[in-house]
Structure 1
């Protein structure tokens, strides 16, 4: 299994908050990137772990860094040149509880699985590269043609599950995570996390 940790966003909402990029904020002495690498490698020792990022600061022990060939729109975080059968995309700005990572790693995927809850998709796992690339291409084409307003994980899921491209909703092919994850897209989310004693059930 190849695990791609997506960390090539522009970070426009994050700005210069905390003095480091959001992927390098620390939890219990580990950066988010290092924590994900450790969690995955402990559960899947034979995994290939790739950090998709152009920033050399994101070099992390236990993973190799890959600079994406294309980074024009948000959907390009799902790096097409890295896609192969048996691939899992994780978000580099997300704090995953260990049980959440365990659930993602342990899931046997037949085609494509999306993980998260009604708030956010936090992982995508695929065993069919041709099918995944087809849906990524479909969403990209619709977005560039101005037919849909966004092109992130939700739209890929809506394309795959045959759902309308409007408000996110959970359909039958969505795997709801029963354990906590916390995303850090903005300074507000980071500050709210610490306001709740920096835990919020994430272990």
Structure 2
């Protein structure tokens, strides 16, 4: 968790102080909800874990859900950036392998936080579920672009592939195990090559 700023003069701008406070709250969110779950976590739990006052919390967020959704949007952008960074050159399977590697690698870096947004999101309400659905569609679009999916059948194959990946990753994160996440890469690539009917060398 980011260090708590020392009291007194610290030569940081107001924006830097605010950024530090929000980062600590996001880290607290992941740590506390990993232990207590979304529903049983309170604003008091978050402020205590982050080392900030309730007044500071409400300067940044209107509620626990607002804090969760802000953290989720931040994670979502990281994932979208990874998907969009897939190389334009290479065979479809090479490009998909690079995309998958970035996605799994990102989740494995902080499996506790990844678990929060793949599992606890189900308890965070309709808005959170819509955000998750949007993220999954971004992933589908990235996969469809890689495999040049044009027909409804091809697009559906991409949707099924992404849904399968999501389920496998969620199961692997049940114990916040980053190694279990990265271990999925080889079997997913093998399955993808078969289901997407990629020709040899293609």
TM-score range, shorter chain: under 0.3
Structure 2 length as normaliser, TM-score? 0.25
Structure 1 length as normaliser, TM-score? 0.25
Larger Rg: 2
Pick the structure with more helix per residue: 2
